[in-house]
Amino acid sequence: MDSQDPVVVVMASDDNYAQHMGIAALSVADRCSAPERLVFHFLDAGISARNVERLKTLVSTAGAQCAFITPNLDRYRDFPMLRYGVGAYLRLSMGSLLPESVERALYLDCDVLAFDDVARLWHTDLQGRTLAAVGNLGHQGTSESLYFNSGVLLIDLKQWRSSGVEKKLMAYLDSRRDALRYPDQDALNAVFESEWLPLRLRWNQQPATYSMAEKQRSQAPHTLDEFEEAVRRPGIVHYLGRNKPWDYMTFHPLKEFYWYYLEQTEWRGDTCRGRSLGARLRKALMVEKSFKRLMRRRLGPTLPGRG
């Protein structure tokens, strides 16, 4: 790969998550040393015209480029939607949805923020593997093999296509359907079982990172050193599960970074979901959680301009 090649970032969303996808994309561009090299491919699972224009403006203002791809969603309609929606499945079809000229892609979920230059991740040597990812903290699948989180994926798309990965993924989903807890992630782990390259934990810092670092515990394939590094110097933060930064009752140590970027977009002025008098009273009584958040917050990065 040439150092001047485009850095292709793929994200997928319906209209419900379009705002969050935009905030994530803005953080990627903001932290990138050469945003003009960034090319976002947004897989459109039903984004409104208004939000499409907002996304275009956001990316252009940040100095990057973007393209929208609107797939036929019928192929995924019979798969279990659970709480994720059809957009979660679109990562499985990147090989056929993206132009053949795109031979490497960095896939990102919408509930992430970049804290480091993704170009550093982009140039990772895949060592002949088709896919690189970070181990999932907590749920470990149903096999003896290591299990990765599908929220951040670095993919050799040329190899993905030549190996017929999409066909294998769809066959796996067709054969199991409602038996899967995390359908897209379980399918990817089944197809790439023992054949994926582990990335350092800092490239997909998950909420459990904090408690495990505090307890001096680690989980394969990541070492304790990686847990401590992910707390102090995260590369990409993944706001998994109930730890969404746009929820009022969230105690994630780095939630304010979402609001920092939000105020730079046309979605500025939005308020925390679930904010009410009752919620404020309940939160005021959660002294232990608030104290723990403060202690964890002091270990990590600071907001731009605050030293």
pLDDT(2) > 90: no
> Per DSSP, what are the bridge partners of residue 44?
13
Distance separating alpha carbons of residues 102 and 39, to the nearest angstrom: 11
Q: Which residues contact 63 (CB under 8 A, 6 or more apart)?
A: 29, 35, 36, 38
pLDDT band at 306 (very low <50, low <70, confident <90, very high): low
Asked whether the beta carbons of 24 and 11 are under 8 A apart, the reply is yes
pLDDT tens sequence across 155-169: 999 999 999 999 999
Is 238 part of any domain?
yes
Q: What span, in angstroms and rounded, lies between the C-alpha atoms of 94 and 99? A: 9
Number of domains comprising the chain: 1
Q: Is residue 302 part of a domain?
A: no
Residue 192 inside a domain? The answer is: yes
Q: What's 205's DSSP letter?
A: B
Cα(31)–Cα(15) distance, integer angstroms: 25
Residue 206 has phi, psi (to 5 degrees) of: -100, 155
Query: Does any domain span residue 129?
Result: yes
Q: Which of 114, 115, 199 is nearest to 150 (CA)?
A: 199
Residue 148 domain boundaries: 7-297
Q: Is residue 72 part of a domain?
A: yes
The 10s digit of each residue's pLDDT in 92-147 is 999 999 999 999 999 999 999 999 999 999 999 999 999 999 999 988 877 778 99
More confident residue, 117 or 271: 117
What is the widest separation between alpha-carbon atoms in the chain? Answer: 56
Q: Do the domain assignments include residue 277?
A: yes
Q: Which residue has the higher pLDDT, 86 or 253?
A: 253
pLDDT, mean of residues 273-297 = 89
Q: Is residue 44 included in any domain, yes or no?
A: yes
CATH number at residue 68: 3.90.550.10
